[in-house]
Amino acid sequence: MTAPSRPAVGDRTWLFYVMFGSALTLVYYALPTGGGWGPARVVVYFAISASAVPAIVLGMRAHRPVPPWPWLFIGISQLIFALADASFYTAHLVFGITTFPFVADVLYICHYPVVVTGLALLIGRRSPRRDLPNLLDAALLAVVAAMLSWLYLIEPYVQAGAPQRVSVASLAYPVLDLVLFAVALRLILSSGRRPTAFFLLAFNLAAFVTADTFYVVQQIGGVYGPGTFLDAVWLSGNIALGAAGLHPTMAALGEPAPHRDMHLASSRVVALAAAALVAPGVLLVQHFRGASHDVPVIAAACAVLFLLTITRLAVMVSQQRRLAVTDVLTGLRTRRYFEASLCRALARCTRPPAVFVIDIDRFKAINDRYGHPAGDGVLVEVATRLRGAARDGDVLARYGGEEFALLAFDVEPEAVPAIAERLRAAVAGAPVRVSDEDRLPVTVSVGAACAGRTTEELIAEADRALYAAKAQGRDRVTVGDPGTDHAAALAYLRSTADQVDGLLSTCPHGRPVGRWARLVCERLGCDRTTAANAELAGRLHDIGKILIPPEVLAKPSALTEAEWGLLRQHPDHGFRLINAVPGLDEIAAIVRQHHERVDGAGYPRGLAGNAIRLEARVISVCDAWATMVSDRPYATPRTPEDAAEQLRLGRGSQFDADVVDAFLALHAEGQIEALWERAAL
């Protein structure tokens, strides 16, 4: 069975509709006002007004808005409005009936609740979450409009002493227009996409409210008659509504807003400030006119506007506070909030809380292959899954780029591994969508700790556990041991550094670099502590490469820019690995800086000159020498003479000049080669 075909509505159908409607409007005004042309004018006017109804129906069938109810109500309201137009203009232009109120007025009034219902449904769809700021802004503007409407539209009717039937009908228009105006403001100020159909619908609402306002003013003055400029305003609104229904973006009007923009634009500030000043301005006008009977109404409006303004400011302050502790992308808490919560918990809780540090495995590869928008999508999905696995009351935060942290209160130490595993399994349970065609398995490594006297100790313990999980192959859980022997941790770091050396070369690397660094520091007259730090940092300077994919680390050909990006992260990886061991913070800082250059062109932070620690400047020279004279997957060894020349060429730009001189002096004395041989033992 063949599925029913959908009507073909092209991207420009709405534009042709606007052109045709505009042409008919010109025809309407070109027709004579007398001589029996009344029926023709009614037909043309009704054709324009009613054409918006089939336009909306056709647009709904073609573009399938979800849900369809807002557009259905808007279409029904336009049908009622078109029937009212037919009744009104037939009475005026054909039969000369000017009775007020008339059947047309009943239809006009009935169309208001229908269109307001449709707009309210559309607003609810676009802003499914609480949107108090925009609601307050719309309320402020609506109060100003209500005050002006009372003073210049409603009250004159009340004072005129017209028959009750006429007064009720006359008052219904400005009151219902106020309701429509308030709802229209709420739609215009709402969050969400604003495609072409949005502006066409907004123009329709503005045209109707404007024309109705002038209509009431002219009725008060007894000067209204059909065929004036007001008909052009109403007709342009009808055409805009039909064009909105036909436009391909009409379905997008019902899409929920992804997030609320907490930024208060300067244009909105000016508009709200101007609106708030209208009431005092009107009060001055009334004072100079000598009219005092409206003072209570204006005073009440001033009071309401003041309260709305104060409320708006309070909401804005609350939003800014929430924004300061909320990650914009994931909606989780920020690192600052997490650490502050941990400090408070350690100060108040009798039982230390548990800390979990969660890192997405090989996240950089996702960004490189699928792009940063896909990477952001992965971050949001991982955050959602972690939020679902966390307990109510615990603090889940985005701790870094692709790193999250969970602070769990009142947890027995025996339950920590189970919580960590639940977090890991929640992420790994199903592939994550990274594009329309691709779903990717995403895993995390979790490090946990549940004892520590200070914030730094607890986080450092969780960090150590995280890097242990990474070193063991990723996609696993490790719980830190607060009683870990630091000597054993240091031995583990040295063993890991040797493992990296074995991946890169058959020659030793970290050991000779450390010993050369100590010797150079002694030649430069450094104290024993500096020399010892240089030796240990040199020994461990490449340890961060353990987290670089082996296929990149041992690639025999030139690296791509993306692969270089991965490799340049190893000083930061090394810093965090070493810094996780208490007492090695200075060693970690030296390792982080060993690829900086004295001219500022190095990485990872672009430090220059004396901003780089001396030990790091020393290791930079020793590391370069060892790399040049050893066998590497991507290069053949250089001769010592060639390596010495390269150091001289980099003197004062890549390398510290004094360090190069000291190293080459040691080389000339034969001490560098001797240490190379000793390191191999």
480 or 591, which is more confident? 591
Average pLDDT over residues 219-241: 83
Quote the CA–CA distance of 250 and 67 in Å, as a whole number.
12
673 or 33, which is more confident? 33
DSSP one-letter string for 167-200? HHHHHHHHHHHHHHHHHHHHHHHSSS---HHHHH
Least confident of 65-69, 108-112, 255-259: 255-259
Has residue 174 got a pLDDT over 90?
no
Read off φ and ψ for residue 403, nearest 5 degrees: -120, 140
Q: What is the pLDDT of residue 2?
A: 40
Which among 468-472, 480-484, 619-623, 671-675 has the top mean pLDDT?
619-623
Has residue 110 got a pLDDT over 60?
yes
Contact, 105 vs 87, CB < 8 A?
Answer: no
Give the pLDDT band of residue 163 (cuts 50, 70, 90): low
545-554 b/e with 16+ CB inside 10 Å = b? Answer: bbbbeeebbe
Has residue 653 got a pLDDT over 70?
yes
Has residue 96 got a pLDDT over 70?
yes
Has residue 452 got a pLDDT over 70?
no
Quote the CA–CA distance of 17 and 246 in Å, as a whole number.
8
Quote the CA–CA distance of 659 and 166 in Å, as a whole number.
99
Instruction: State how beta strands 477-479 and 432-433 pair.
Output: unpaired
CA distances to 99, 591, 596, 606, 653 from 612, rounded to whole Å, are: 91, 11, 7, 10, 13
Q: Give the residue among 11, 23, 17 at the shortest CA–CA distance from 242.
A: 17
Please give the radius of gyration of the chain, using alpha carbons only, rounded to the nearest integer.
37
641-680 b/e with 16+ CB inside 10 Å = b? Answer: eebbebbeebbeebbbebbbbbbbebbeeebbeebbeebe
Average pLDDT over residues 240-244: 94
Name, in order, each residue with C-beta under 8 angstroms of 645's C-beta and a sequence gap of 6 or more.
Answer: none
Q: Which two tokens stand for residue 353?
A: 């809380």
pLDDT digits (tens, 9 = 90+) for 494-505: 888 888 887 776
Give the pLDDT band of residue 519 (cuts 50, 70, 90): very high
105 or 621, which is more confident? 621
Kindly report the average pLDDT of the chain as a whole number: 83
Contact, 342 vs 458, CB < 8 A?
Answer: yes
Q: What is the pLDDT of residue 678?
A: 43
584 or 382, which is more confident? 382
Q: What is the pLDDT of residue 558?
A: 77
Average pLDDT over residues 50-62: 93
Quote the CA–CA distance of 594 and 607 in Å, as a whole number.
10
Quote the CA–CA distance of 278 and 302 in Å, as a whole number.
9
Give the pLDDT band of residue 4 (cuts 50, 70, 90): very low
Least confident of 242-256, 290-304, 320-334: 290-304
Which residue's structure tokens are 């001033």?
302
Residues of the chain with pLDDT > 90, as a percent, come to 34
Q: What is the pLDDT of residue 327?
A: 86
